[in-house]
């Protein structure tokens, strides 16, 4: 390193230390006070905790893993609150993995479900029943006009499987591209488009699946200070892009183009991506990437699949769907998780031409379009509208982001804060300068502490070092203040 570079690096470190010290001095260390809640959980009835432990270790697949050193034994849920078997209350900032969108046991969803249970639990889609058709009509009204054909199924993996199948049948081509760091499911087909080493089994799979460089403007080779459609930008990367320009995004698109030129046939089946990667640790793609990527894919005859399993239903705040914020119109949209607030359900929505591809042979699933699931899903749409939950994601999400950015200014172990609406992530590092991912033991110590102090967050990313904050969309600013006080206390202890 040259002498002037050493001096520059030292002065940057000094400036960062001064900034952090003054931020710490300005911030008040508030003892976390959980906002009140007038809901009383029922007395616990269920298997004793030690019996659960025994059954889990003996009779459940060893692949089923538990969060936390002292696993949470959940019993009851109410809005943004989760109660454990001992009646302890937690602020649930992970929503059953981004699934309980409108809040635990939302009365309107509960009532709609109960009403349906009393009438008809199940019949397959070979018979006509009302809720399936009511829901299809409601759902397509929220999507671009020609995306008006729905196939309902049971889960996100199944929906992505189906989307891949349709892309292949429709185009007559086979190859599908996804992004490194993506998670699209664990079924045999989707394993090929999921691209995270710790989710990869040692067996041949993923024929015809290719991954391009992930446009991660924090950890990837390129990134600047204005790449994301958000108030959360990378702290220490600078750029001089003019409005409408994003050089980092262009570089990642060049990589996609290069990969296609080197590894792909002239005709491809499609491209699948989330606009903000969920399991991958809330990696928020730079604006401009998806429009350019979609163009390249379409030049090769491929269809573009938006995985909205986590980003859908208002969570990104500015729009109802993530792809709208990204400025693209997909050919196939995949939905699951918060679609029915936790009732197992998924859906694939596409246009009439692509949908026809599935008619070359019989195609069927038993539970897709189940009457109870559809009743729950209709109520979810009502609640989002009536309680203006998309708007709440924007306002409370903005508030949350600003508070997390303040934390990043205070603590050198917070490398990046990212996301939009109530789809947020906070990446932990050894040090902001090196960006070395925080060691798992330290992340886990912090994580366990936040749980003991009363909040539940997820973890994700290749190194498991990003806290994932994706709460039920009904949380309040008071809840955010509590969560921030918990993070601050846990960080101070660390």
Ligand X SMILES: Cc1ncc(COP(=O)(O)O)c(C=O)c1O
Between CA 366 and CA 435, with CA 315 as vertex, the angle to 5 degrees is: 110
Shortest Å distance, C-beta 168 to ligand X = 18
By CB under 6 A, residue 185 contacts ligand X: yes
Q: How far apart are CA 61 and CA 265, in angstroms?
A: 40
**Is the Cβ of residue 256 or residue 276 nearer to ligand X in the bound state?**
276
Binder among 274, 292, 409, 479 for ligand X (CB under 6 A): 274
**Is the Cβ of residue 100 or residue 480 nearer to ligand X in the bound state?**
100
- DSSP states of 291-302: HHHHHHHHHTT-
**Is the Cβ of residue 345 or residue 378 nearer to ligand X in the bound state?**
345
Please report where in the chains the tokens 């980003």 appear, as a residue. 311
Shortest Å distance, C-beta 189 to ligand X = 11
Shortest Å distance, C-beta 187 to ligand X = 7
By CB under 6 A, residue 278 contacts ligand X: yes
Of 61-69, 248-256, 271-279, 434-442, which segment contacts ligand X by CB under 6 A? Answer: 271-279
Q: How far apart are CA 267 and CA 297, in angstroms?
A: 9
**Is the Cβ of residue 79 or residue 184 nearer to ligand X in the bound state?**
184
Shortest Å distance, C-beta 240 to ligand X = 34
Question: Would strands 89-92 and 332-335 be described as parallel, antiparallel, or unpaired?
Answer: unpaired
Q: How far apart are CA 244 and CA 422, in angstroms?
A: 25
By CB under 6 A, residue 94 contacts ligand X: no
Binder among 143, 227, 273, 279 for ligand X (CB under 6 A): 279
Binder among 80, 113, 160, 465 for ligand X (CB under 6 A): 160
Sheet holding 332-335, edge to edge: 149-153, 346-350, 332-335, 303-307, 270-273, 176-179, 209-212
Angle between helix 389-410 and 371-386 (nearest 10): 70
**Is the Cβ of residue 185 or residue 314 nearer to ligand X in the bound state?**
185
Binder among 157, 212, 214, 357 for ligand X (CB under 6 A): 157
**Is the Cβ of residue 131 or residue 157 nearer to ligand X in the bound state?**
157
CB of 271 closer than 8 Å to CB of 178: yes
Q: What is the DSSP letter of 18?
A: H
Shortest Å distance, C-beta 375 to ligand X = 19
By CB under 6 A, residue 341 contacts ligand X: no
Which residue lies nearest ligand X, judged by its C-beta? 156
Q: What is the DSSP letter of 437?
A: B
Q: How far apart are CA 135 and CA 120, in angstroms?
A: 16
By CB under 6 A, residue 368 contacts ligand X: no
Shortest Å distance, C-beta 178 to ligand X = 11
Of 335, 331, 351, the closest CA to residue 343 belongs to: 335
Q: How far apart are CA 212 and CA 261, in angstroms?
A: 12
What is the total count of residues that contact ligand X (CB under 6 A)?
Answer: 15
Please list every residue from 95 through 134 that binds ligand X, using CB under 6 A.
Answer: 97
Binder among 76, 80, 155, 212 for ligand X (CB under 6 A): 155
Please list every residue from 298 through 337 that binds ligand X, using CB under 6 A.
Answer: 307, 309-310, 336
Shortest Å distance, C-beta 47 to ligand X = 25
Shortest Å distance, C-beta 193 to ligand X = 9
Shortest Å distance, C-beta 64 to ligand X = 13
Of 72, 14, 33, the closest CA to residue 447 belongs to: 72
333-372 core/surface letters (b: 16 or more CB in 10 A; e: else): bbbbbbbbbbbbbbbbbbbeebbebbeeeeeeeebbbbbb
Q: How far is CA 197 from CA 18, 60, 182, 291, 427, in A?
A: 38, 24, 10, 27, 18
Query: By the criterion CB under 6 A, which residues form the site for ligand X?
Result: 97, 155-157, 160, 183-185, 274, 278-279, 307, 309-310, 336
């Amino acid at each position: 390193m040259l002498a002037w570079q050493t001096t520059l690096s030292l002065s940057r470190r000094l400036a960062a230390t001064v900034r952090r010290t003054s931020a710490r001095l300005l911030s008040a260390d508030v003892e976390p006070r959980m906002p009140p809640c007038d809901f009383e959980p029922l007395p616990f009835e269920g298997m004793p905790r030690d019996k659960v432990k025994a059954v889990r270790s003996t009779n459940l697949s060893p692949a089923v893993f538990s969060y936390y050193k002292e696993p949470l034994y959940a019993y009851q849920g109410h809005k943004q609150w989760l109660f454990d078997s001992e009646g302890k209350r937690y602020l649930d900032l992970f929503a059953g993995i981004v699934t309980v969108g409108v809040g635990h046991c939302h009365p309107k969803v509960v009532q709609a479900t109960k009403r349906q249970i009393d009438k008809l639990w199940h019949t397959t889609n070979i018979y006509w029943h009302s809720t399936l058709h009511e829901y299809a009509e409601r759902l397509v009204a929220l999507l671009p006009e020609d995306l008006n054909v729905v196939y309902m199924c049971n889960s996100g993996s199944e929906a992505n499987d189906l989307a891949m199948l349709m892309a292949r049948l429709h185009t007559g081509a086979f190859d599908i591209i996804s992004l490194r760091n993506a998670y699209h499911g664990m079924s045999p087909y989707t394993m090929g488009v999921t691209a995270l080493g710790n989710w990869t089994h040692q067996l041949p799979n993923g024929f015809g699946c290719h991954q391009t460089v992930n446009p991660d403007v924090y950890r990837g080779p390129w990134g600047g200070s204005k790449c994301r459609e958000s108030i959360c930008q990378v702290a220490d990367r600078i750029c001089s892009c003019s409005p409408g320009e994003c050089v980092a995004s262009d570089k990642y698109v060049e990589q996609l183009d290069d990969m296609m030129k080197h590894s792909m046939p002239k005709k491809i089946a499609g491209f699948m991506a989330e606009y903000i990667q969920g399991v991958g640790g809330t990696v928020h793609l730079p604006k401009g990437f998806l429009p350019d990527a979609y163009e390249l894919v379409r030049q090769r005859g491929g269809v573009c699949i938006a995985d909205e399993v986590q980003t859908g239903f208002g969570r990104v705040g500015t729009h109802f769907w993530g792809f709208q914020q990204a400025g693209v119109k997909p050919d196939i949209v995949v939905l699951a998780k918060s679609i029915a607030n936790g009732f197992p359900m998924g859906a694939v929505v596409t246009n009439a031409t692509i949908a026809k591809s599935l008619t070359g042979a019989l195609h069927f699933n038993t539970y897709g379009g189940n009457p109870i699931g559809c009743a729950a899903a209709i109520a979810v749409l009502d609640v989002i509208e009536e309680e203006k939950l998309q708007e709440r994601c924007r306002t409370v999400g903005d508030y949350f982001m600003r508070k997390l950015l303040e934390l990043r200014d205070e603590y050198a172990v917070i490398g990046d804060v990212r996301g939009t609406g109530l789809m947020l992530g906070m990446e932990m590092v050894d040090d902001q300068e090196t960006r070395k991912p925080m060691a798992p033991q330290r992340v886990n110590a912090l994580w366990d502490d936040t749980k003991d102090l009363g909040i539940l967050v997820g973890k994700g990313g290749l190194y498991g070092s990003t806290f994932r904050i994706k709460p039920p969309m009904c949380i309040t600013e008071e809840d955010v203040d509590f969560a921030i006080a918990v993070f601050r206390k846990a960080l101070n202890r660390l």
